[in-house]
A = this chain, B = another copy of it.
Amino acid sequence: MVQIPKTPAVASRAPRSAPTSTDVARLAGVSRATVSYVLNNTGAVRISEPTRRRVHEAARELGYVPHAAARSLRAGHSRMVLMPAPAIPAGPLYSRFFSELQKALGHLDYTVVQYGSVGLRGDEAARAWAELRPVAVLVPGADLGPQGVAVLKRSGARAVVTLGPESVEGAHALLMDHRTVGHCAGRHLYERGRRRIGVVVPEEAGLEAFAGPRLDGVRRAVRGTEATVTELPLAYDERAAAALAARWRSLRLDAVFAYNDEYAMLLMRALQDEGIGIPQETAVIGADDLMLGRLLRPRLSTVRIRLPSGPQLAELVDRAVRDPAAAPVRRRVLDATPVHREST
């Protein structure tokens, strides 16, 4: 029998485990320290050119990839920015916003990671995030309490930023108050002479966080006037829309804010099928300014929403990370403007 000596590094075509810097060092005939110096381009230490080449060569040959966990364990910190992945599929507005933010943070050399927090809620989720020891955490929505913020900070997060309706003790807050959207729509309708305003409230789960404030915003917009606001629960579904349209005239409404452009299209179609004149008999306004709305006939009036730009927000995060002791930022960032087209 011939014994084949198995040098770990060259054992076989399918090595049992990942090559380490030790393997690289061995192959290059240098110490682990030297490998680290070369691969990280450490400025303080000069390594001879031939050595550098040998190290690089060896690393390439072995397919060496540094171990992020070991590195950040040693360093005591990472550059990971964590955000929970949205539980419900996000709309185009939000998706674009996240994409941009991700890119901008990437340019600042952060690694952005979306964490799929399945069933976790509240402090449980915060603990799960904290296990990864992110340098910053961005949390949309209201999934995080003061306790959660404390947990994250204690475990090394230098910045916790919430994107939501309310600010949370200890965290930076980008206030995205959807009441503004409703307020904008409500005022637009009121100014155009409408007095009996319906507000669509989606029945789909996960939308309450937006729907409630938008409704509330409309109420505020007409508070102290003679105008009335009627809540209209609606499922995103043709039958439900038809049913609502069928009893529309009995509701005696002269306008409706349809939550967003998609619900607006759904409802508008149903109202038109019912022979209700838009905007003469009922004015319809949506929100989000999707391309969709421009294509409808009549063209759909809407509320345009502007979220903070990626680079702007990225810089805020970066500043917060660099100076964790600074006072928490508290900034309104949801900008809403009415876009008047033909449906109102």
Show the binding face of A for B, using Cβ within 8 Å. Answer: 15, 17-19, 63, 65-70, 72-73, 76, 78, 85-90, 92, 95-96, 98-99, 102-103, 105-107, 111-116, 118-119, 127, 130-133, 150-151, 154-156, 236, 238, 262, 265-266, 269, 291-292, 294-295, 297
Contact = CB atoms under 8 A, between A and B. Distances in A.
A140 to B, nearest CB: 14
A297 to B, nearest CB: 8
B112 A113 contact: no
Contacts of A151: 63, 65
A162 to B, nearest CB: 19
Contacts of A106: 116, 118-119
Return the 8 tightest CB-CB contacts between A and B, nearest first: A106-B118, A89-B95, A112-B116, A69-B69, A114-B114, A102-B116, A68-B131, A65-B130
Contacts of A156: 17-18
21 contacts: A17-B76, A63-B150, A63-B155, A65-B127, A65-B131, A66-B131, A68-B132, A68-B133, A69-B133, A85-B112, A89-B96, A102-B116, A103-B118, A106-B116, A111-B115, A111-B116, A113-B113, A238-B294, A265-B292, A265-B295, A292-B292
Nearest to A273: B297
A291 B236 contact: yes
Contacts of A68: 69, 131-133
Given A70-B73, A89-B99, A156-B17, A118 B107 contact: yes
Contacts of A294: 238
A254 to B, nearest CB: 23
